[in-house]
């Protein structure tokens, strides 16, 4: 049964490859490269920073689209017709992702940057770090959850359903939740910029992915043939997505270079609430699934999707709202660095506790 599930999820996830397994290493190397380039070529980075329109940096926008588009092709809205097959897991996913996670992330941000770390960070910077945390907290994972689900041999259909549902909710809920939490923390954000970011980095890539998926499915005689076409296409354009992510990290840390070199402790301070949030959200969802007797192939991905973040969206919105050199943008990139090792540890924990859950 487990091998059958693994075979079913393979087309959607594309497998965990060398890049995903060592993502934190590549991000760390790009951070080093960005810091070095930012200090030896400040003029070039200033020129790149000036290429913007309507608060959107054009270079970063292209790189974000390159990252997000291949992921959106994997989202299958046809799976929504099976939404009632695993209702418990979906309820947990929706409640944790949209009614718990954004608010606990905001609370941790205030606790650490306005409380525990107040003597280490100036108030203006603290508000931007909190904003970055809020953006991460309000953006549950879209694509990498396929990888985490495969690593726990999760139910492929359920994973597709939860990703599709979350993407639809994100279109309507991301901007209001972010605006609410930024307002509560006394950070003023123009609504038009926030809504434009959602259109640019969620709605348009999602629509492009759906249209591409329809085009690939055209003429396919079976679902298996369709999935093979989608898998082959995403595998072919995957290098573009990888380069987009790594180039974005280099740019962000190039813009932030001098600040980070002057304060090396900053990255560690930002990582603390992110790590606590990740483990806390996972435990909430995983415990709820255990109490509700949700089968493990559903319990694992339903807990992992809320723990992981749609960091591509968070990075793009942080840049649009606060600028390339802002603390908010830096925080979202630190989220990338922290996420992968944390997620791999949680995948290992889930696999070790598989026996505590029903198998089906």
Domains and CATH numbers, the chain: 2-356 (1.20.1530.20)
Which tokens sit at 252? 């962000």
Q: Using one digit for the tens of pLDDT, what is the confidence trace for 28-72?
A: 788 889 888 888 888 887 788 777 776 677 887 888 788 778 777
The CA distance from 338 to 310, in Å, is: 13
Give yes or no for a contact between 254 and 43, defined as CB atoms under 8 angstroms apart: no
Q: How confident is the model over 99-117, as pLDDT tens digits?
A: 999 999 999 999 999 889 8
Residues forming beta bridges with residue 203, ordered by sequence position: none
- Cα–Cα distance for residue pair 299/328, rounded to 1 Å: 32
Q: What is the pLDDT of residue 210?
A: 84
Compute the CA torsion angle 154, 242, 245, 42 (nearest 10 deg): 160
For residues 91 and 267, give the distance between their C-alpha atoms in angstroms, rounded to a whole number: 35
List the beta bridge partners of residue 147: none
Digit-coded pLDDT (tens) for 150-161: 788 888 778 878
- Alpha-carbon dihedral angle through residues 248, 251, 256, 262, given to the nearest 10 degrees: 110
pLDDT of residue 11: 39
Question: What average pLDDT does the structure give for the chain?
Answer: 81
Using alpha carbons only, what angle is made at residue 76 by residues 75 and 80, rounded to the nearest 5 degrees?
120
For residue 53, the cross-strand partners are 56
Tell me the C-alpha distance between 243 and 232, whole Å: 18
Amino acid 9: pLDDT: 36
Residue 66: which residues within 8 A CB-CB, separation 6 or more? 240, 241, 243, 244
Provide the pLDDT for residue 224: 78
- CA atoms within 13 A of residue 133's CA, in its CB half-sphere: 31
- Say if pTM beats, i.e. exceeds, 0.85: no
pLDDT at 8 (0 to 100)? 34
Low-confidence residues in the chain, pLDDT < 50? 1-15
Q: In this structure, how many other beta carbons lie within 10 angstroms of the beta carbon of residue 63?
A: 25
Residue 222: per-residue pLDDT: 78
Which phi and psi (to 5°) does residue 260 adopt?
-70, -40
Name, in order, each residue with C-beta under 8 angstroms of 159's C-beta and a sequence gap of 6 or more. 9, 12, 13, 145, 146, 149, 301
How many Å apart are CA 128 and CA 327, to the nearest integer? 5
State the pLDDT at residue 359: 78
Q: What is the 3-state secondary structure (H, E, C) of the chain?
A: CHHHHHHHHHHHHCCCCHHHHCHHHHHHHHHHHHHHHHHHCHHHHHHHHHCEECCEEHHHHHHHHHHHHHHHHCCCHHHHHHCCCCHHHHHHHHHHHHHHHHHHHHHHHHHHHHHHCCCCCCHHHHHHHHHHHHHHHCCECCCHHHHHHHHCCCCHHHHHHHHHHHHHHHHHHHHHHHHHHHHHCCCCCCHHHHHHHHHHHHHHHHHHHHHHHHHHHCCCCCHHHHHHHHHHHHHHHHHHHHHHHHHHHHHHHHHCHHHHHHCCHHHHHHHHHHHHHHHHHHHHHHHHHHHCCCCHHHHHHHHHHHHCECHHHHHHHHHHHHCCCCHHHHHHHHHHHHHHHHHHHHHHHHHHCHHHCCCC
């Amino acid at each position: 049964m487990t091998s059958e599930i693994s075979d079913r999820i393979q087309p959607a996830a594309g497998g965990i490859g060398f890049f995903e397994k060592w993502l934190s290493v590549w991000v760390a190397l790009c951070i080093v490269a960005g810091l070095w380039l930012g200090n030896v070529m400040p003029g070039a980075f200033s020129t790149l920073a000036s290429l913007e329109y309507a608060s959107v940096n054009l270079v970063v926008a292209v790189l974000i689209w390159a990252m997000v588009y291949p992921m959106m092709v994997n989202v299958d809205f046809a799976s929504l017709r099976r939404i009632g097959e695993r209702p418990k897991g979906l309820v947990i996913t929706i409640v944790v992702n949209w009614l718990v996670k954004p608010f606990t992330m905001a609370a941790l941000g205030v606790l650490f940057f306005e409380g525990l770390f107040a003597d280490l960070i100036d108030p203006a910077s603290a508000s931007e770090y909190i904003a970055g945390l809020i953006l991460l907290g309000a953006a549950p994972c879209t694509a990498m959850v396929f990888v985490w689900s495969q690593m726990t041999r999760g139910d492929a259909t359920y994973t597709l359903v939860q990703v599709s549902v979350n993407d639809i909710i994100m279109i309507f809920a991301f901007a209001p939740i972010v605006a609410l939490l930024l307002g509560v923390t006394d950070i003023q954000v123009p609504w038009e910029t926030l809504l434009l970011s959602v259109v640019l980095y969620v709605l348009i890539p999602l629509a492009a992915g759906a249209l591409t998926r329809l085009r690939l499915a055209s003429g396919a005689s079976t679902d298996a043939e369709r999935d093979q076409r989608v898998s082959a296409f995403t595998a072919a354009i995957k290098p573009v997505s990888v380069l987009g992510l790594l180039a974005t990290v280099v740019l962000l840390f190039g813009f932030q270079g001098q600040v980070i070199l002057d304060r090396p402790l900053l990255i560690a301070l930002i990582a603390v609430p992110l790590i606590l949030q990740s483990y806390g959200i996972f435990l909430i969802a995983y415990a709820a699934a255990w109490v509700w007797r949700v089968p493990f192939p559903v319990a694992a991905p339903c807990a992992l999707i809320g723990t992981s973040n749609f960091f591509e969206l968070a990075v793009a919105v942080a840049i649009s709202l606060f600028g390339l050199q802002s603390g908010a943008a830096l925080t979202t990139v630190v989220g990338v660095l922290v996420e992968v090792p944390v997620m791999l540890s949680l995948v290992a924990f889930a696999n070790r506790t598989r026996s505590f859950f029903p198998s089906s």
